[in-house]
Amino acid sequence: MTPPAAAPTASRGRFITFEGGEGSGKSTQIKRLADRLNAAKLPTIVTREPGGSAGAEIIRHVVLSGMGKMLGPEAESLLFAAARDDHVSQLVAPALAQGTWVLCDRFADSTRVYQGEVGKVDPKLIRALERVTIGDLKPDLTLILDVPVAVGLKRAVARRGAAAADRFEGEGLSFHEKLREAYLKIARDEPKRCAVIDADADPDTVAARIWTALRDHLFTVAIPRETTRA
C-alpha cells in the first residue's frame, strides 16, 4: 500500500504525467522536458508505467506480452494496479517527498481509459484500485498528447520495425479511436489537472506547446518564460 502523499508544498517536487494513445510521442517528449527542467535547476527524474520499479517491471513484462489479456480485463486491471502500488511506494512518493520532480510516462488515467472506458471494467473497481494504489497522490499536471489515431499507429509501426505488435498496439482502429475519445473526456472533466497537447506536429513544436502548458498550469513555480528552445 502507498504511504499517505505529502501535500504539494513549495519543497515537494511536482508530479507530471504524460498520457495518450499509442505513438503519441510521450517517450520522446518526456525526455526533452526532463532535460529542460534539470537545466533549469529543478531536479527531475523520468519513470514509466507499467514499470518504473523492480517489481513493477516484472509485471510489465507479463501484461505487455499479452498474458494479462488471457486472464480478462478485471484481472489485467489488478496487474496494472499491483505494478502501480510498487512503483508509487518505491519510487514516486519518496522522490516527490525529497523535492524531486517526477515525470511519469502513463499513470492512473491509462487504467481508467484502457481497462475502464475501453475494457468496460466496472468504474467502481477502477476507482477502488486508484484509492488503494495512489491515495492522495494525484498528478499536479497531466499532459494528454493528442494525435489522430492513424498518425500514432504509423509512428508506432515505424519505430517497431519488424518486431511484433505488443498487446495493445495489436488492437483494431476502433479500439484506438475509443482510447482517444476517452482521454479527451478526462481532459474535459478535469481541466485544472489536464492539458491537451496537439502532438501532430514536429517534435520541437510539440515540446514548445508542452512548455507553455507547464507555465500555464504550474504558475506558482518560477520557470523561465522563453518558449523557443525545445
- CA distances to 20, 59, 91, 93 from 150, rounded to whole Å, are 13, 29, 34, 36
> Among 47, 53, 100, 110, which residue interacts with ligand T5A (rule: CB under 6 A)?
110
**24 sits near ligand T5A (criterion: CB under 6 A):** yes
Q: Of 10 and 180, which has the nearer Cβ to ligand T5A? A: 180
Q: Is 82 helix (H, G, I), strand (E, B) or coil?
A: helix
**52 sits near ligand T5A (criterion: CB under 6 A):** no
**Positions 188 through 217 that interact with ligand T5A (CB under 6 A):** 202-203, 206
Tell me how far apart the alpha carbons of residues 194 and 97 are, in angstroms, rounded to a whole number. Answer: 22
- Find the shortest distance in angstroms from Cβ 223 to ligand T5A: 22
Residue 81 identity: A
**87 sits near ligand T5A (criterion: CB under 6 A):** no
> Among 155, 175, 184, 208, which residue interacts with ligand T5A (rule: CB under 6 A)?
155
**Spatial CB neighbours of 16, under 8 Å, sequence gap ≥ 6:** 33, 101, 102, 103, 104, 139, 140, 141, 142, 143, 214
Rg from Cα positions in the chain: 17
Q: Which residues bind ligand T5A (CB under 6 A)?
A: 20, 22-28, 49-50, 64, 80, 105-106, 110-111, 114-115, 155-156, 158-159, 166, 168, 202-203, 206
